[in-house]
Amino acid sequence: MEFCPECGGMLLPQGEDKILKCNSCGYEKKLKDNNQNYQIKEEIKHNDNIIMKGEDISTLPTTNVTCPKCGNNKAEWWLQQTRSADEAETRFLRCLECKHTWREYD
């Protein structure tokens, strides 16, 4: 695991390119060809190194709620202040299956 020398964020692989990129500040680092071969496996052993792409990593909490688009029952959620400060926050939900996003008000 490597970290960004600019902001300290985690450097994540981008697509099939040999580039690590920081999603926080945009710093990029080209990977060196050091004859290391990476394999894609279905079965993961306890001592395997795992490389995850940046878009595969989610740190948002999840909840059991039915998606209005596909009917899946799991979604990630976050709160955002969309109106004046004396009103309640808006709860946004994103389906983990189809990525449909919707909002709920209190």
DSSP string covering the chain, please? --B-TTT-PBEEE-TTSSEEEETTT--EEEPP--S------SS--TT------GGG---S-EEE---TTT--SEEEEEEE--S-TTSPPEEEEEETTT--EEEEE-
Q: State the pTM of this model.
A: 0.49
**Predicted local confidence at residue 10, as pLDDT:** 83
**Predicted local confidence at residue 77, as pLDDT:** 94
**Predicted local confidence at residue 59, as pLDDT:** 79
Report the chain (106 residues): mean pLDDT per 10 consecutive residues.
83 76 86 58 70 67 94 94 86 93 86
